[in-house]
Amino acid sequence: MRINKFLAEQGVASRRGSDQIVAEGRVTINGRRAVAGDDVGADDVVMVDGKTLSHKVKYEYYLMNKPKGYVCTVSDDKGRKTVMDLLPAGAGRVFPVGRLDYDTEGLLILTSDGNLAYRLTAPQSEIAKTYLVRIEGTITEQQLNRIRAGVEIERGVVTKKCKVNVIETSKTYTKLRVVITEGKNREIRRMFEAVGKNVDFLKRLKIGDLALTGLDRGAVRRLTQEEVFYLKNL
């Protein structure tokens, strides 16, 4: 395996970034300074900035446009369809990162990389997640400001500040873009319920700057190495 590919699979950098790291003389193979085009075998000792990299199992990373009607679990004791049913044949033993509820659509990451899953879901990471929300009827600026400032969704549980912007409105519905940095159970639906509004459509559009662009409902694709690197460094 070429050194730049090996470094990318270790999450050190993208392939292009790995080429730069090699060019800077920061990488050694068996004590020798690595150069572009070097190959790495299973028995080689690779170090970056003096730190040894292990020949760990190659992780898998998928991006899914989850449709409604699927649960975000590996299996379901109620016999409901799970997001695992949408994975292509030959996909490894991956698991969904976080959860979108049964009636929520949109961007979902599935991986076998537990460290990345933890990084993306840990409360202290505060990674921005962008949603398209449609509510019944209209909403006032006062109600929007309550949500933006944080609302109590159950006794003693108050949401963090968030961004909410109206993008379309009519007499019967309002569409909004909502950006949150936490992931409490059914959080967005409960935020709007707290100001007396019912969410009838909810779709996650982005995690950080990683977006669903070009992926049909129910479709799945592998994440690129650059996307994996981006997520690991959010």
The SS3 call for residue 132 is strand
Catalytic residue among 19, 39, 76, 101: 101
* Tokens coding 54: 């292990």
In the numeric block, the tokens 């899953």 are attached to 117
CA distance 189 to 199: 6
Q: Which residues of 11-32 are buried (b: 16+ CB within 10 A; e: fewer)?
A: bbbbbebbbebbeeeebbbeee
Q: Is 216 part of the annotated catalytic residue set?
A: no
CA distance 9 to 25: 19
Long-range contacts: 40-43, Cβ < 8 Å, 24+? 40/1, 40/2, 40/3, 40/6, 41/1
Residues acting as catalytic residues: 101
